Amino acid sequence: MKKTLLASILAMAAISAAAQVPAEYKVAPWHGFSRCAITYSFDDLCANQLPIAIPILDKYNVKASLNVVTDWVKPEEWASVREAGIRGHEIASHTISHPNLTEKSVEEFEREQSESKRILEEKTGLEVVTMVYPYCKTTHEDITAKYYIGARVCDERIEPHTPKEMMKISSRGVGPMFNFNSAEAFNKWVDQGAEAGGWCTFLIHGIDGDGGYSAIKSSDLEEHVKYVSGKPKDFWPATCAQVCKYIMERDALQITELPAKKGYKISVKCNASSSIAKLDEPVTISRQLPNSWKSAIIYENGKAKAPLAMCKDYQKSNKATTTTTTVILDVVPGNTYEIRKK
Ligand SMILES: [Zn+2]
């Protein structure tokens, strides 16, 4: 108990270290200044996930988190798992043997966490940085935190923009078992997420009666994903790993700005570090440009790069209208940027 509490405090300290940015800058709560992060978290590699659900997500360029039980993967399935990972879907751990972890010894608990990560990384060649507890049952979050930057449970909540416990990220089960079973209901939930400025994680098993637990219809999934991808100002669909990294970086972002020949030179650092994950997720920031500037060009490590957006704001007074322009760009900690007058 003591250890668990200490781990949560340490985890919180790591993510709540205040971002340090000059007054002209704003750090986006979620990528692209969208209002809500959404994660599609698929458990157990049910039969129709790779052949049906993933192609639907691919069609809308949405990435999933695939939570894999290493003992359950058939030898011929590893290639498709790896291939999905290479295309940007997250390959996450769901332990080696899917036990109720609360019934395991500390040693067995740790082995389920460490070995599943090792096997997945070896089989896919990709970074494995989040996990999902079988049956959503957990203890020893301090041990989980040695191997993962985030771990998922199923508390049915919408997480706030900075979750209280990264080793207990909430999700909401879909399908008939959860009485949460239509595109309309899924859309309504993410709309609530946008209102709250939070993070909605869908916990998904079966698709189209593939025998997987609490199956949903692929047509409902598609209708919902289409809705989400059509509203980028509201929704940022991303993997659990991407959202965890974004939170860590966002809450500890350090921006320093120096004047340069045609504008400003900025260096971006992250005041948090992780031995588990590369903190390389792009974080969205904005900078209000001086009044005399109409537009700006961005350089990342010396190379020209298109900004995400350029926003104009008009303020009317009695005599004149002042226009302020704000540039919105993605930054990766460790890189340097230049904002030049155009
Ligand atoms: Zn499971």
Q: Is the pLDDT of residue 10 over 50?
A: no
| pLDDT tens digits, one per residue of 161-199 | 999 999 999 999 999 999 999 999 999 999 999 999 999
- CA of 260 relative to ligand 1 center, distance in Å: 53
Pairing, β 172-173 against β 199-204: parallel
- CA of 9 relative to ligand 1 center, distance in Å: 28
- CA of 196 relative to ligand 1 center, distance in Å: 28
Q: Is the pLDDT of residue 235 over 50?
A: yes
- CA of 133 relative to ligand 1 center, distance in Å: 7
Burial category of 340 from C-beta neighbours within 10 Å (exposed 0-12, middle 13-18, buried 19 and up): middle
What is the full DSSP assignment across 206-230?
A: -BSSSS-TT-B-HHHHHHHHHHHHT
- CA of 98 relative to ligand 1 center, distance in Å: 6
- CA of 47 relative to ligand 1 center, distance in Å: 13
* pTM higher than the cut 0.85: yes
- CA of 97 relative to ligand 1 center, distance in Å: 10
- CA of 209 relative to ligand 1 center, distance in Å: 17
In the prediction, which pLDDT does 251 show? 96
Q: Which residue has the higher pLDDT, 1 or 45?
A: 45
- CA of 94 relative to ligand 1 center, distance in Å: 7
- CA of 204 relative to ligand 1 center, distance in Å: 10
- CA of 129 relative to ligand 1 center, distance in Å: 17
For 233, which DSSP code? T
| pLDDT tens digits, one per residue of 27-38 | 999 999 999 999
Q: 3-state secondary structure string, 130-184?
A: EEECHHHCCCCHHHHHHHCCEEECCCCCCECCCCCCCCCECCEECEHHHCECCHH
- CA of 225 relative to ligand 1 center, distance in Å: 23
- CA of 44 relative to ligand 1 center, distance in Å: 5
Q: What is the average pLDDT score of the chain? A: 93
- CA of 93 relative to ligand 1 center, distance in Å: 10
Residues, beta carbon < 5 Å, ion ligand 1:
43-44, 134
Q: Which domains are delineated in the chain?
A: 34-247 (3.20.20.370), 252-341 (2.60.40)
Would you say 4 and 143 are in contact if contact means Cβ atoms under 8 Å apart?
Answer: no
| pLDDT tens digits, one per residue of 124-158 | 999 999 999 999 999 899 999 999 999 999 999 99
What is the full DSSP assignment across 39-67?
A: EEEEETT-TTIIIIIHHHHHHTT---EEE
Q: Which residue has the higher pLDDT, 1 or 39?
A: 39
In the prediction, which pLDDT does 16 show? 43
- CA of 206 relative to ligand 1 center, distance in Å: 11
